[in-house]
Amino acid sequence: MAAPPVLLRTVPPPKSAVVPLSPAVLPAAGLAGVVAALVLPVDRPGVGWLLAGLAGTFAVFLADRRSRAGASPFTWGNAGWAVLALALLGMGAVRASGWLFALCVLGAVVCGSLAVVGKRTVNSVFYDMLAVPLEALRAVPWAGRGLGRFAARRDGVARRIGLAVLATAALVAVFVPLLASADAAFAAVVNAVIPDLSVGVLVRWCCVFAVFALLVAGACYFLAAPPHRAAGQRPHRTEYGLEWTVPLTVLVLLFSVFVGVRLVVLFGGTGYVLRTSGLTAAEYARGGFWQLCAVTVLTLAIVSAALRWAPDVTKADRLRQRVLLGALSALSLVLAGSALSRMWTYQEAYGFTVLRLLVEVCELWFGAVFVLVLASLVKLRSAWLPRAAIGTAAAALLVLAVLDPERLIADANLDRAAAGKPLDHRYLAGFSTDVVPVVSARLPEPLRSCVLREVLAGDTPDGWPAWNLSRSNARDVTLGSC
């Protein structure tokens, strides 16, 4: 029988039209959005970020639990990702560095998505990492239809809820100002809890509410109709063994020759750099570092591709994979160590900065991923490898935040200054209040007060949602003349 013409074929309805919307989803999303709008300090790190994250987490969990008749899909793996996401958001309560907390928020988004996704889906790992934001966009018509059905109910529930909200708001608007004017202590509490209302504050509340409500709705939308789960191990090709063996063998030989030729200077210190003919420390260390970083990244991509597509059906295939990929990963660890050595040499000569610290952490993470690759070669099972790599990256970011990177950089630069090397005090003055304890304890006057004044220059009082331990302690520091 001939297929019907294209224009006459039945178009399936969109997913948002067929996925059922539980009655618990919209209230959960709305409450999470309200909490986030009230407590989230969008302009700075603060404890409110953790509170908003907790509100979103409980909203998704409770909405899914109320919506599901069977067993919950959440496991200890989901809980681990959720704890990691909340820990990253919790850094906003103790660290004041803006760049650091921005990385923590991005890491929390990824970990939060993986907490919702759970086991791998048939989609790529990139989808799993961003599943909640992506599904939040797709959930807009889904939630819109739910709101439309709720507003059209004949029992008048929507009208009654609206009247209750308006009546409550009217009573609060009348009685709170009266009570505040009657007692100074109560007025102080009101001023501390309720911010000054302005157009900007209302716009910010609306935007934060919309974002968090959509994120919760997107997570519930994913859980209501999740994609198919991926198989435990993807099938491999049984051909193209030669096409993989020759390039990998050549690459192993090339790395071996490089390591052998450069063995004497591979981990050379500052003395070698300064004695190298025709090279300055910057040319040798910095240039070599970026080149070796590029080699590390490219090698990691090649190893990942080989684990995914290289044949491993026969015993000879598996032996070839273990030998070649194991040798390549081990040599890459040596190159990563060389890159770290070069960057350390460069920092000892020219000072420590945020960028240099971050690329060192990235190189350490590359080394950790190669160790994971070596572990995967034992049984030639690599399905778990992408999630493990993401987990180590998030854990590395959390450890970096706990160690306080700006304090580490300030300490290292002050150690260089104590050894007679120049100190860029303007660079220190550009840091957040995380460096205040180190600068206050180690810099002599009047330079100490000059640097601290620059650090504290942009500091403004925090409301309770924006409370931050670093900023709170920094305000107790006494300043001298500058």
Question: Mind giving me the DSSP string for 355-419?
Answer: HHHHHHHHHHHHHHHHHHHHHHTTTT--TTHHHHHHHHHHHHHHHHHHH-HHHHHHHHHHHHHHT
How many angstroms separate the CA atoms of 353 and 351, rounded? 7
In a domain, 24, yes or no: yes
Structure tokens of 265? 């200077």
Buried b (16+ CB within 10 A) or exposed e, 132-146: bbbbbebbeebbeeb
Structure tokens of 297? 């990244």
In a domain, 360, yes or no: yes
Q: Burial, 245: exposed, middle or buried (Cβ in 10 Å; 0-12, 13-18, 19+)?
A: middle
Residue 55 confidence (pLDDT)? 95
Mark whether 171 and 24 lie in a shared domain.
Answer: yes
Listed residue (469, 468, 435, 472) closest to 45, CA to CA: 468
Q: CB-side exposure of 118: number of CA atoms within 13 Å? A: 12
In a domain, 196, yes or no: yes
Beta-bridge partner residues of 229: 121
Mark whether 87 and 215 lie in a shared domain.
Answer: yes
Residue 378 confidence (pLDDT)? 87
Mark whether 260 and 204 lie in a shared domain.
Answer: no
Q: Residues 299, 226: contact at Cβ < 8 Å?
A: no
Cβ neighbours, 10 Å, residue 229: 12
* 317-to-300, 372, 376 alpha-carbon distances in Å: 20, 20, 15
For the chain, percent of residues with pLDDT exceeding 70: 82
To the nearest 10 degrees (0 to 180), the angle between helices 405-418 and 354-376 is 120
Q: Residues 42, 466: contact at Cβ < 8 Å?
A: no
Domain that holds residue 28: 15-224
How many angstroms separate the CA atoms of 340 and 359, rounded? 9
Residue 292 confidence (pLDDT)? 77
Question: H or E stretch including 127?
Answer: helix 125-129
Residue 90 confidence (pLDDT)? 96
Q: Residues 80, 395: contact at Cβ < 8 Å?
A: no
Q: In the listed set 319, 354, 382, which residue is the last one of a domain according to the structure?
A: 382
In a domain, 391, yes or no: no
In a domain, 357, yes or no: yes
Mark whether 285 and 345 lie in a shared domain.
Answer: yes
Residue 277 confidence (pLDDT)? 43
Mark whether 126 and 36 lie in a shared domain.
Answer: yes
Q: In the listed set 321, 350, 382, which residue is the last one of a domain according to the structure?
A: 382
Residue 177 confidence (pLDDT)? 76
For the entire predicted model, the pTM comes to 0.86
Mark whether 36 and 86 lie in a shared domain.
Answer: yes
In a domain, 40, yes or no: yes
Residue with tokens 């194991």: 326
Mark whether 166 and 26 lie in a shared domain.
Answer: yes
**Helix, strand, or coil (residue 121):** strand
Residue 446 confidence (pLDDT)? 87
Mark whether 377 and 429 lie in a shared domain.
Answer: no
Listed residue (141, 142, 65, 119) closest to 227, CA to CA: 119
Mark whether 154 and 246 lie in a shared domain.
Answer: no
Residue 36 confidence (pLDDT)? 94
Mark whether 182 and 305 lie in a shared domain.
Answer: no
CA-CA-CA-CA dihedral for 141, 144, 145, 148, to nearest 10: -160
Q: Residues 302, 331: contact at Cβ < 8 Å?
A: no
In a domain, 437, yes or no: yes
Mark whether 252 and 217 lie in a shared domain.
Answer: no
Q: In the listed set 224, 254, 276, which residue is the last one of a domain according to the structure?
A: 224
In a domain, 417, yes or no: no
User: Which residue type occupies 49?
Assistant: W
Question: H or E stretch including 216?
Answer: helix 199-224
Structure tokens of 100? 């650091």
Give residue 278's region: left, alpha or beta (phi > 0; psi -120 to 50). left
Which residues of the chain fall below pLDDT 70? Answer: 1-14, 16-18, 70, 149-162, 165, 190, 192-198, 231-241, 261-288
Mark whether 132 and 40 lie in a shared domain.
Answer: yes
**How many domains does the chain contain in total?**
3
Residue 12 confidence (pLDDT)? 65
